DNA sequence: CGACGCATTGATTGGATTCAACTAAGGTGG
DNA sequence: CCACCTTAGTTGAATCCAATCAATGCGTCG
């Protein structure tokens, strides 16, 4: 867990929050506002809870497989990934964590991690003690519901990944992940019209969709050739949103439980 | 949603609960007892909540993709599967639902399903209104925590499936699913020493691990030839638990959050 | 008995991996 | 400032796992 002091050079939250003043203002709150019961009261509670912020450098582990959960994090800027190393040493990325995401969402104080969380870019997080986080959930039913809502959204994403990995071709799998990332980033204001910072390597994409780096490369080339996307200097642009969604069989509804 | 009257010929809960007296006694409660905060009080609450029981026949849908969630079910006996039909018409089984499992766990009353739940066998369920379920969770923090715990366990299973589908060979994938089912059935008393009712077709296994029926058949044959499992009349026996777990890179820890 | 669902087998095809080499970009230190 | 090294991306050829297509066996149930 290497902590660093400089500020992030990758994804930054929009100006308002870029100051990294302690408190989990912008991306998380923007996300939770999608949940109808979330109110000002909850917001205040959150800001008290996530009272310290810190930064992690690229490739550092925020949480390791097997760790006891002692802190809960909100990602303020940058990208992380849940991952698991399997027996033969290869890595599966289980999900991407984007600004506004909370992890690990273990309701019950302690508990061992069954996977790790790594920083894919330098990133900024706010943290709360797991115990005070849980106390807050017990005291404030609405807050608890808001986080349950977030957990359900998370589960929806996981189910979509199972479907993606189980049924779709390499080409469609990559397309689907791109659609998901775009939709999720849009929810926190980090994608404009299908255009967003895309700070991951092809190896990381490959680990997420269950294929080799070489193949991920060829698939991305094909997506570009087919005029569906464009990637320039770590910035991805969706050129044909309808085409990409149809190809990926993507429907964003699952990202927004009621 | 076809309702039937006869009793199940497949998985039966152990005698105590086989009476299908309304109330979600045995498998759910046995499972939730694994959660340390679950107490008698919660138990009573549950029994009042899930106050009606019914049966579904094999191949019927308990919930359909796109449905509004109006009821919450506990599976009392039999097996179900969450599934999703993708664009080209093929089906991915997202998870197996076993006795004691609750679904759909949407905390917030209504909400649209992004997948369906089908009965793989004739099965018996207890149901509660989504609204009263949610009220109960709001009133009883401990009960809410118990269900959050169950949700976390669920998420752990989903993550394990992502890893399984993404990284492992067909042979190991099937092995892993068998290990998971055994461990989960053991938690509700439905597996004895690696021996349990296995009422699914090879097509269903194939749909769960993302391969064709033909290939699932060959993999199962190989697992039998290698002396790892035995299947006789819908009953599976794990002959070499250590061998199977090692092969599958299986560690049951993820099934039991704290 | 015939029909149907499920399991099984064989032959062929093809998508993705593997192995290996090479290019391009960026950072570091002499 | 350039030589060197590292990381990320790209390309080609050979190989292999799993899909596909097609047919058959087998048991159950109406």
- How far does B92 lie from chain A, in Å, by closest CA? 6
Which positions ≥6 away from A233 have C-beta within 8 Å?
Answer: none
Question: Chain B residues with CB inside 8 Å of A161's CB?
Answer: 162
| Cβ contact, residue pair A149, B108, below 8 Å | yes
Of A residues 77-106, those with CB within 7 angstroms of nucleic strand C are: none
The whole-number average pLDDT for the span A216-236 is 96
Contacts of B85 in chain A (CB under 8 A): none
pLDDT at A142: 83
Q: Which residue has the higher pLDDT, B233 or A239?
A: A239
Cβ pairs bridging A and B (under 8 Å): 145
What crossing angle do the helices spanning A202-209 and A170-187 adopt, rounded to 10°?
110
Structure tokens at A211: 């294929």
Each of the 258 residues of chain B gets a pLDDT tens digit; together they read: 333 333 333 333 333 333 344 444 467 677 777 776 777 888 888 888 888 899 999 999 999 999 999 999 999 999 999 999 999 899 999 999 999 999 998 766 668 899 999 999 999 999 999 999 988 988 888 888 888 888 989 999 999 999 999 999 999 999 999 999 999 999 999 999 999 999 999 999 999 999 999 999 999 999 999 999 999 989 999 999 999 999 999 999 999 877
- CA of A215: nearest nucleotide by C1' is C16
Judge: B253–A112 Cβ closer than 8 Å, yes or no: yes
Structure confidence at residue A41 (pLDDT) = 81
- Rg (chain A; Cα; Å): 18
pLDDT of residue A39: 79
Of chain B, the end-to-end C-alpha distance in Å amounts to: 36
With beta carbons less than 8 A apart as the criterion, state whether B105 and B147 touch.
yes
Give the up-direction half-sphere exposure of residue B182: CA atoms within 13 A in the CB hemisphere.
25
**A 53-92 residues with CB < 8 A to B:** 82, 84, 86-88, 90-92
Burial group, residue B192, by CB count within 10 angstroms (0-12, 13-18, 19+): exposed
From A68, which residue of chain B is nearest by alpha-carbon distance? B258
The confidence score (pLDDT) of residue A23 equals 42
Structure tokens at A228: 């569906």
Provide, rounded to the nearest whole percent, the portion of chain A with pLDDT above 90. Answer: 66
Residues with CB under 7 A from strand D: A 201-203, 213-214, 217-218, 220-221; B 169-171, 210-212, 214-215
Contact A167 B209 (CB under 8 A): no
- What is the value of pTM for the model shown? 0.89
Q: Can you give the distance from the CA of residue B119 to the C1' of nucleotide D18 in angstroms?
A: 28
Across the interface, whether the CB atoms of A163 and B87 are under 8 A apart is answered no
Q: Tens digit of pLDDT for each residue in A76-135?
A: 999 999 999 999 899 999 999 999 999 998 766 668 899 999 999 999 999 999 999 988
Q: Which residue is nearest to nucleotide D21 (CA to C1')?
A: B214
């Amino acid at each position: 867990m290497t902590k660093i002091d400089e500020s992030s050079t990758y994804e930054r939250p929009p100006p308002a929050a870029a100051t990294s003043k302690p408190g989990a203002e912008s991306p998380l709150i923007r996300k939770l506002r999608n949940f109808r019961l979330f109110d000002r009261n909850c917001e205040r509670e959150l800001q008290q809870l996530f009272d310290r912020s810190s930064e992690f450098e690229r490739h550092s582990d925020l949480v390791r497989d097997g760790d006891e959960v002692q802190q809960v994090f909100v990602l303020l800027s940058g990208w992380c990934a849940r991952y698991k190393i399997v027996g033969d040493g290869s890595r599966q990325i289980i999900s991407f964590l984007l600004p506004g995401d909370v992890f690990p969402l273990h309701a019950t104080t302690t508990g061992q991690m069954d996977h790790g969380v790594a920083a894919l870019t330098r990133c900024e997080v706010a943290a709360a003690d797991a115990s005070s986080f849980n106390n807050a959930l017990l005291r404030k039913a609405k807050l608890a519901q808001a986080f349950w809502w977030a957990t359900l959204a998370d589960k929806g994403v996981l189910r979509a990944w199972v479907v993606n990995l189980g049924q779709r071709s390499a080409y469609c799998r990559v397309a689907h992940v791109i659609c998901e990332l775009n939709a999720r980033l849009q929810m926190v204001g980090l994608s404009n019209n299908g255009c967003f910072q895309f700070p991951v390597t092809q190896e990381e994409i490959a680990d997420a969709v269950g294929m080799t780096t070489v193949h991920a490369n060829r698939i991305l080339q094909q997506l570009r050739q087919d005029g569906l996307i464009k990637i320039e200097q770590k910035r991805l642009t969706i050129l044909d949103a309808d085409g990409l969604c149809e190809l990926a069989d993507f429907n964003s509804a699952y990202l927004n439980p009621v």
